[in-house]
Structure 1
Amino acid sequence: MRNKLKLRFSLATLLIAVTAASIWLATTSKQARDQEVGVAGVESNEGVVQFETTLDVPDWLRNAVGQEYFRDETTVDFATNQGRQQRTGEPKATDANLRHLESLDSIEILELGNNSDVTDLGLAHLKSLRRLTTVYLYRTGIRGPGLVHLADLPKLEAISLSDTRLDDSGVTHLGRMTRLTWARLDNTKVTDASMSELAKATALKTLTLSNTEITDTGLMHLARLDRLDTLDVRGTGVTFDGVARLKRLLPNCQVTVTFGLGTLPQDESLFVDGYTPSSGEINAKLKELRIDGEVQTDATRPGSPIVTFRLFDSTLSNEVVLDLIEHMPDLEVLNLRRGLVGDDFVKGVGGLRNIKHLSLQATRITDDGLQYLSLLPNLKELILTETDVTDAGLAHLRSLRGVRSITLNSTRVTIGGIEGLRQSLPTCSVSW
């Protein structure tokens, strides 16, 4: 009798186990099929899918059943190659083909940057991605209304909307993202009007608002973000006093501002008028004044002329720097990263016809100053990163037929302006 009960119990247990396994297999099979269809849809548009193994099972079982039963899709990337398919040149991601993501509910990181055909309508396909932690939407067609579909995602911690037409109405949805710790809103249309809404995202630790219309008024709303430790407001309307007030309220927050904010250019010449300093004297004077800069000579040429001049984090005025380079007629490399020089300086540099490399990163150059670059016939490489250059200024660059590389990262230019510049200069590499 005991053996019969044991046998019945064993058979019942086996039946339950088989039934449970069958249900699991049926459910998992459908999920796996749906996921494979989604993966195929992504890959057909040259999107890249990365997987993570979810169950450690023997190889024989994995081979027998199929690896798709034991893995999850954790990352999908549509951004490479400027969001264009190599074989056709068509967009990788559009509102329509984002539907393939709906069955990939294990995605944690989604890269949609550089896909201008992705708009607010397409974001509706992302609302089922409950594991999503990071989404990149820079240089897309997003304006803001579609962010409502992301606002309630329970694990979303990071979002990039750089270089989009995001406006204040869209920021309202960002304020609902209670776990958001990292946000890039640089080069968008956000203003002071939405900063009170953004301040509702109280988990924020890192926030980039560079090249927006933010002023001291909006800055004060951000003081409510008591976890904020990094804030970038370069190229905005904030003032030195406004930043100082914010720092008093958020003493542990590192605030990055436009170089030289609140600083007047230094107008005192480094050498007396009429004196021509040697390369050694120039380097000695820069060291004496604790200025991060140096000149280099070419000893292989007669007279060992100065061919390179580097000047970083300098508050020297246009006139003072022009006085220095007046003694460098053979200059080929001029690197003025982070300085107070601007349009008048570029106008004055026109006499240095041997310059091949010119970096004006994080200086006060504007669209008006770019017209004078045509005075540099041998210019090959131009760096305008972190300046106030806009699409209007790019018109002046279209005549620089000899230039082979132009860098415009963190400026106010748009994708339309970049594409127009690339068409005008087909042999030039334009980075943005």
Structure 2
Amino acid sequence: LLSLAVIPPIVITLRLHMKPMLERSYEQQQIEGRLYSLVEQTLSAIVIVKTFRRETETERSFRDSARELLDATLASTRVQLRFKVLAGLATASGTAAILWVGGSHALDGRLTIGGVLVFLTYLRGFYAPLNTIAYAPPTVQQAAGSARRVLEVLEHEPEVAERPSAVELNHVNGRLHFENVHVGYEPDRTILHAVDLELEPGEMAAIVGRTGAGKTTLVSLVPRFLDPWEGRVSIDGTDIREFTLASLRKKIAIVSQDVFLFPRTVAENIAYGRPGAEMAEVEAAARSAQADEFIRRLPQGYETVLGERGATLSGGERQRISIARAFLTAAPILILDEPTSALDTETEAMLVQALTALRHGRTVLVIAHRLSTVKNADKVVVLEDGQIVECGPPADLIAARGRYSRFHMLQSGLIGDDRTVSVAVE
């Protein structure tokens, strides 16, 4: 009975330390996640950090985060050690009590020394699994804290959910319709108001407007990067929310201004949207995108491994690989986020030629900042404060002498108010 007396103290110690061990472990995982996020952000923006001489401040932020993580780790370790010490103290006290009682009985002649040693051997066999059980909770609670962080991510409700009844989107003609769309990113701040826009199959619409007008938000509705609060977006007359996300996005190709390339071969980057594409198809896409010539000049041609984010290529070369990627997917709907805005005139001319070939047979939405892009559009959509204020063929809007007409004159150099240029073009 005396040997069993250690169980209640161990149970009490366990109950007192279970929650603190879980909380300290969870806090440690949270801080560790913030530290890793800081490291990732810093390395991704290393050029900006160096350009603006922020190395010292960045190092200080890292040091502060590392110190915070160290404090959290020590706090977690202290709770675990306190539990282990108290649990070990309980079993050690039990062993000492047995020795004292057994020794007293041996001195009185009621128990032999051999009997005491045999009992201590049994006692060790009894306490060994008890210690194992007692020392398990710190490991379990540490794992529980990590699991809690993982479950927070896994259980996070996506902003765009796929309906249980969603069906595959197979054939697409390309008719795109925005119907009375209202949407925003925060409940009290609407970005787009009552937007109505229709594109026929094979039609190209250029979206212009100042920064913050809602251009990117508008095109982001098509691949369902976000859903409208009111109204709907439809393809060929069917609400896009009726389709599975994978099948919908398979029918959409995106060429963005900020091209992301992986540290893989050129061929793998072009075939990213179609991993099983044949090499002949990859090369054909590159030729259509005016990229084949410079790719073959690379050390291993299409097998050349690119640097992080395509750092070993120029901006125009990265854009042409992105366009080749869009060619290869052969998606019937194309979204362009002004891929020529930051390029020199010669490179821009090559990209415009590639984009002209790319738009053939596709419905195109393009965020436009330059006339080289707008002049090829079937219609121009002028956004202002989240609303369409002008929409129609470029020639008609120029003749109407409205907002687009002013944009056209600014881009053509017919008027030169620098302040107005920055507003109208952006």
TM-score (norm 1): 0.22
As a proportion of its length, which structure holds more helix?
2
Higher relative contact order (CA 8 A, sep 6+): 2
Bigger Rg over Cα: 2
TM-score (norm 2): 0.22
